[in-house]
Structure 1
Amino acid sequence: MGAYLYLALAIAAEVTATISLKLSDGFSKLGPSILVVVGYAIAFYGLSQVLKAGLPIGVAYAIWAAAGVALVAAIGVLFLREPLNLAMVAGLVLVIGGVVLIELGSAAQ
């Protein structure tokens, strides 16, 4: 499995775990609580495989974190009825822009 496929797995698992954390209601609901633990375990395993495959840690973590932030924010707005305003959108754009700069800087080395 390629590094970017493992990275996609890690991101999907982390997003699932984070959304499940919200749905677990302080770990009082069993199903979402199990998804939290399993999701984070898969996420960290996937990230470890990304690093083992040779993707630089700064690039891998930047993509993982930014994608997670953006996806969790989008899911929160679309499905959990969380508010979204211009400042939050600007913040997401800056996070994603930062990842692009990290990727470009890494490629220039």
Structure 2
Amino acid sequence: MWVVLSLAIGVEVFATLALRASDGFRKKVWIVPVVVGYLASFYLLWLTLSLGMRVGIAYGVWTACGVALVAVFARYLFGDPLTGKMLIGIALVIGGVLTIELAGAVH
């Protein structure tokens, strides 16, 4: 289940970076990777849910990791800003998801 979710995150990050690389779809070569990547990511997220992971956990981890990884990779690939305040925000998002995960584990 966690392996499938990790794949969903990786594919979503790739698709989002491809979306950025497409320059508003002015670079047509990126359209297929974006569309296929998002479809594959949603399929893998669906598969994660069908394997029994709770939607709040799966979606929270998927989005938090996606935000963090896209921000870091975009910094190095495209020179996008990554300020200290942004890093604090990313840490808060990840902390929130971990809190939900830990609270969800206790019944």
Same fold flag (TM > 0.5): yes
The residue type paired with residue 93 of structure 1 is: A
The residue type paired with residue 100 of structure 2 is: I
Partner of 2:42: 44
What residue ranges of structure 2 are gaps of 5+ in the alignment? Answer: none
Which residue, 6, 9, 18 being the options, matches 2:7? 9
Distance in 2 between the 1:28 and 1:77 partners? Answer: 21
Which residue, 67, 70, 76 being the options, matches 2:68? 70
Distance in 2 between the 1:53 and 1:30 partners? Answer: 36
The residue type paired with residue 36 of structure 2 is: V
Superposed displacement of residue 31, structure 1: 2.2
Partner of 2:89: 91
Aligned residues between the structures: 107
In the alignment, is the contact (CA less than 8 A) between 2:4 and 2:44 conserved in 1? yes
TM-score under structure 1 normalisation? 0.94
CA-based RMSD of the aligned residues comes to: 0.8
Distance in 1 between the 2:21 and 2:77 partners? Answer: 12
TM-score under structure 2 normalisation? 0.96
Distance in 2 between the 1:95 and 1:76 partners? Answer: 18
Distance in 2 between the 1:69 and 1:35 partners? Answer: 19
What residue ranges of structure 1 are gaps of 5+ in the alignment? Answer: none
Partner of 1:18: 16
* Runs of 4 or more above 6 Å deviation: none
Identity %: 46
In the alignment, is the contact (CA less than 8 A) between 2:72 and 2:82 conserved in 1? no
